[in-house]
Amino acid sequence: MSRNDEIATLLEEFADLLDANGVEYKPRAYRRAAENIRDYPGAIEGLAAEGEDSVGEIDGVGDAISSKVVEYFETGEIEELTELREELPVEMDALTAVEGVGPKSVGSLYEALGITTLDELEAAAEAGEIQEVSGFGAKTEQNILDNIDFAREAHERSLLGEARPYGDQIRAYMAAGDAVEECALGGSIRRWRPTIGDVDVLVGSTDAEAVIERFAGWDELDRVIESGDTKASAYADDVRVDLRVVDPTEFGAALQYFTGSKDHNVAVRNRAIERDLKVNEYGVFREVRSTSSSRTASDDDVEGVEDDDQRAGELVASESEEAVYDALGMEWVPPELRENRGEVEAAADGSLPDLLAEGEVRGDIHTHTNWSDGGNTIAEMVEGAADFGHDYLAVTDHATGPGMVGGVGVSDEQLREQMGEVESVAADADIDVFTGVEANIAADGTLSVADDLLADLDVVVASSHAALDGDGTDRLVTAAEHPDVNVIGHPTGRYLNRREGLDVDIDRLADVAAANDTALEINANPARLDLGGGAVKQAIETGANVVINTDAHSPRNFDLLRYGVHTARRGWAETDDVLNTRDADSLRKFLDA
Structural contact between residues 344 and 267, judged by C-beta atoms closer than 8 angstroms: yes
301 binds DNA per the rule CB under 7 A? no
Q: Does 141 bind DNA (CB under 7 A)?
A: yes
Backbone angles phi, psi at 279, to 5 degrees: -110, 130
Residue 26 near DNA by CB under 7 A? yes
Residue type, 472: G
Binding flag, residue 51, DNA (CB under 7 A)? no
Judge whether 401 and 448 are in contact, CB under 8 Å. Answer: yes
Distance CA(529)–CA(565), nearest Å, equals 10
Q: Is 106 in the site for DNA (CB under 7 A)?
A: yes
Task: Say which residues have a Cβ less than 8 Å from residue 352's Cβ, sequence separation at least 6.
Answer: 331, 333, 334, 337, 343, 346
- Tell me the number of residues near DNA by CB under 7 A: 59
Angle CA(548)–CA(554)–CA(560) in degrees, nearest 5?
40
- How far is residue 72's CA from residue 77's CA, in Å, rounded to a whole number? 5
Would you call 517 helix, strand, or coil by DSSP?
coil
- Binding flag, residue 46, DNA (CB under 7 A): no
Q: Which stretch binds DNA (CB under 7 A): 63-71, 85-93, 156-164, 514-522?
A: 63-71
Nearer to DNA, 122 or 198 (CB): 198
How many Cβ atoms sit within 10 Å of the Cβ of residue 181?
17
Do residues 22 and 110 touch, judged by C-beta distance below 8 A?
no
- Applying CB under 7 A, among 200, 321, 438, 521 the residue interacting with DNA is 200
- Of residues 54, 230, 411, 516, which one binds DNA by CB under 7 A? 230
Minimal distance in Å, beta carbon 402 to DNA? 41
Pick out residues in 236-255 that bind DNA (CB under 7 A): 240, 242
Q: Which is nearer to DNA, 187 or 252 (CB)?
A: 187
Indicate whether 342 belongs to the interface with DNA (CB under 7 A): no
> Among 259, 280, 492, 557, which residue sits at the site for DNA (rule: CB under 7 A)?
280
Task: Lay out the site mask for DNA across 207-226 (x = CB under 7 A, - = otherwise).
Answer: -------------------x
Pairwise CA distance, residues 95 & 104, whole Å: 11
- Distance of alpha carbon 265 from the chain centroid: 16
| End-to-end CA, the chain | 38
**CA–CA gap between residue 459 and residue 393 (Å, rounded):** 10
Task: Decide the pairing of beta strands 392-394 and 223-227.
Answer: unpaired
Q: How far is the CB of 178 from DNA (least distance, A)?
A: 21
- Residue 24 as a binder of DNA (CB under 7 A): the answer is yes
Q: Which stretch binds DNA (CB under 7 A): 30-38, 315-323, 371-379, 488-496?
A: 30-38
According to CB under 7 A, which one of 42, 46, 128, 135 is a site residue for DNA?
135
Answer yes or no whether residue 62 interacts with DNA by CB under 7 A: yes
Q: How far apart are CA 327 and CA 344, in angstroms?
A: 13
* Dist CA 324 CA 489 (whole Å): 40
Complex with DNA: residue 98 or 333, whichever CB lies closer: 98
Q: Which is nearer to DNA, 65 or 447 (CB)?
A: 65
What's the closest the beta carbon of residue 265 comes to DNA, in angstroms? 7
Tell whether residue 310 is a contact of DNA (CB under 7 A): yes
Q: Is 519 in the site for DNA (CB under 7 A)?
A: no
Residues 399-428 that bind DNA (CB under 7 A): none
Q: Please, what is the minimum distance in Å from the beta carbon of residue 29 to DNA? A: 4
Distance CA(381)–CA(387), nearest Å, equals 10
Q: Residues 555, 161, 158, CA angle at the centre, nearest 5°?
A: 150
User: Binding DNA by CB under 7 A: which of 8, 103, 256, 365?
Assistant: 103
Q: Which is nearer to DNA, 47 or 514 (CB)?
A: 47
Mark the segment that binds DNA (CB under 7 A) among 26-34, 42-50, 446-454, 581-589. 26-34
CB of 525 to DNA, least distance (A): 27
Q: Which residues sit opposite 226 in a β-bridge?
A: 233
Residue 268 has φ and ψ, to the nearest 5°, of -65, -45
Q: Applying CB under 7 A, does 196 fall inside the site for DNA?
A: no
3-state secondary structure 203-249: EECCCHHHHHHHHHCCCCCCEEEEECCCEEEEEECCEEEEEEEECHH
Per-residue contact string for residues 257-276; x = within reach of DNA by CB under 7 A:
-----x---x--x-------
Helix axes 412-428, 378-388, angle to 10 degrees: 50
* Closest distance of CB 35 from DNA, Å: 11
Distances (CA, A) of 346 to 86, 143, 220, 542, 567: 48, 46, 41, 18, 19
Q: Which of residues 526-585 bind DNA (CB under 7 A)?
A: none
Binding window for DNA (CB under 7 A); candidates: 2-10, 154-162, 192-200, 414-422: 192-200
We find the least distance from the C-beta atom of residue 25 to DNA, in angstroms, to be 4
Q: Per CB under 7 A, does 335 bind DNA?
A: no
Asked if 66 is part of the footprint of DNA (rule: CB under 7 A), the reply reads yes
Query: What is residue 392's three-state secondary structure?
Result: strand
Q: Give the footprint of DNA on this chain (CB under 7 A).
A: 19, 22, 24-26, 28-30, 32-33, 56, 59-66, 96, 98-106, 108, 131, 134-141, 143, 187, 197-198, 200, 226-231, 240, 242, 262, 266, 269, 280-281, 309-310
